[in-house]
Homo-oligomer: A and B are copies of this chain.
Amino acid sequence: MQTTHDTLFRALADPTRRALFERLCRDGEKTVGDLTARAGVSQPVVSKHLVVLKQAGLVRDRHEGRHTHYSAQLRALAPLIDWTSQMTGFWENRFDDLENLLKRMDQ
């Protein structure tokens, strides 16, 4: 069985792949060429990583001529936030800032 959490965590576990996603989050829509220029790996590798991110729902692609524009899909992170929330009991207790959360997490 392949759960949503599986695909999400696995997609974000690889440093190269996570870096791609982070860049799309920070800098917005980018083409494969743009991403490849700073990824440190070859273009086919970037494409393969983008496939994985897309299958996890973390990115969207938009075709425009011979360019393919990719953008981050933040809503795909919802299960991850929900999971950590469940683990830490975050939402049940409705902490409203990081300080309190960290305090609670110190045991």
Contact = CB atoms under 8 A, between A and B. Distances in A.
Contacts of A42: none
- Size class of the contact patch on chain A: 35 or more
As for how many copies of this chain the complex holds, the number is 2
B91 A94 contact: no
Contacts of A98: 81-82, 85, 91
A94 B95 CA distance: 11
Given A3-B15, A18-B9, A94-B96, A84 B77 contact: yes
Interface of A: 3, 5-6, 9-10, 12-13, 15, 18, 21-22, 25, 72, 74-75, 77-78, 80-82, 84-88, 90-91, 94, 96-98, 101-102, 104-107
